[in-house]
Amino acid sequence: MSWTADEIAAIVAADIPEGAFVNLGIGQPERVADHIPAGREVILHSENGILGMGPQPAPADEDMELINAGKKPVTLLAGGAFFHHADSFSMIRGGHVDICILGAFEVAANGDLANWTTGGDGVPAVGGAMDLAAGARSVRVITSHTTRAGDPKLLGALSLPATGRAIVKRIYTDLAVLEPDGDAFRVLDRAPGVTIDMLAERTGAPLRPADPSKGADR
């Protein structure tokens, strides 16, 4: 009764508008590159210095000289470019990235994001996520709805160090698509078979229904 990792990535990709410049974070966000709708121009940016990044290559076509920020082989679309690491971060800090899609350990109902921690199984430093959180025009998150232990990742307030405050615009989990709404999460869509009661049991903040005035658009 949950979406697979590729199904989530496809939902995220379908929400990206034509012509957007998009940075994909390390891990689950990287899958989005493989699901950009056919015929839609989306310019993917990687902070190690790529613009015009394509989907992952077939194993036989992998080139370890062409990798993303997560050190995974990628492809380069026609018109793509390479450039210095510093120039890449100037694009981010200068507000030239329309959307960044990040993973998360926690998201608060007001849009606060924590995607690093100094804990035993955590990420040891915030890295480029700090720049993306501050510089991207829209921050979206892909994450599992709960931890491996079953604890909610969507909370009333963060318990981990914040990567950014009130920055998350949309959240895609294996159970639902939601938006931070101040003191609650607004439910835009649910995976097949997932009820509101099931979602509420796995969410650490109140839930609200989608705003009818916005229609069915995610």
Q: Which of 7, 30, 41, 47 is catalytic?
A: 47
pLDDT value at 172 more than 80: yes
Q: What is the pLDDT of residue 218?
A: 39
Q: What's the pTM value of the predicted model, to 2 decimals?
A: 0.91
Q: Give mean pLDDT, residues 36-40.
A: 95
pLDDT value at 56 more than 90: yes
Cα gap 46→70, rounded to integer Å = 9
Q: What is the pLDDT of residue 1?
A: 79
pLDDT value at 123 more than 60: no
pLDDT value at 2 more than 60: yes
Is 47 an active-site residue? yes
What's the mean per-residue pLDDT of the chain?
A: 92
Tens digits of per-residue pLDDT, 173-208? 999 999 999 999 999 999 999 999 999 999 999 999
pLDDT value at 214 more than 80: no
Spell out the CATH class of 5-214: alpha beta
Q: What is the pLDDT of residue 210?
A: 83
Where do the domains of the chain lie? 5-214
With a pLDDT cut of 70, the percent of the chain lying above it is 92
Tens digits of per-residue pLDDT, 61-118? 999 999 998 899 999 999 999 999 999 999 999 999 999 999 999 999 999 999 876 6
DSSP result, 107-171: EETTS-EE----STTS-SS-TTHHHHHHH-SEEEEE--SB-TTS-BSEESS-SS--SBSS-EEEE
